[in-house]
Amino acid sequence: LVTGILVVLAVMLMRNGSTRLLGFKVLGVLALQVVLGISNVIYSLPLPVAVLHNGGAALLLCTLILVNYRLAPRP
């Protein structure tokens, strides 16, 4: 569900010229998360991959905070 919502967000960002790079960033970090999550399942949760998955989640959160900051209306 979250992956689907973030893909839609990334596509909407990429359609706008001024936020195109943000869309690619969201999509890239999301792809990293999906790959790390799948490898966690395939390799039965090796500690380094699990730690990288947590780091990817933090990076994804920071990317979404950046999107929120850039799209927030300025007074």
CB hemisphere CA count around 68 (13 angstroms): 6
Query: Tell me: the pLDDT tens digits for 16-66?
Result: 999 999 999 999 999 999 999 999 999 999 999 999 999 999 999 999 999
Q: What DSSP element (H or E) covers 52?
A: helix 47-71
Q: Give me the pLDDT at residue 12, please.
A: 96
d(CA 31, CA 9): 14
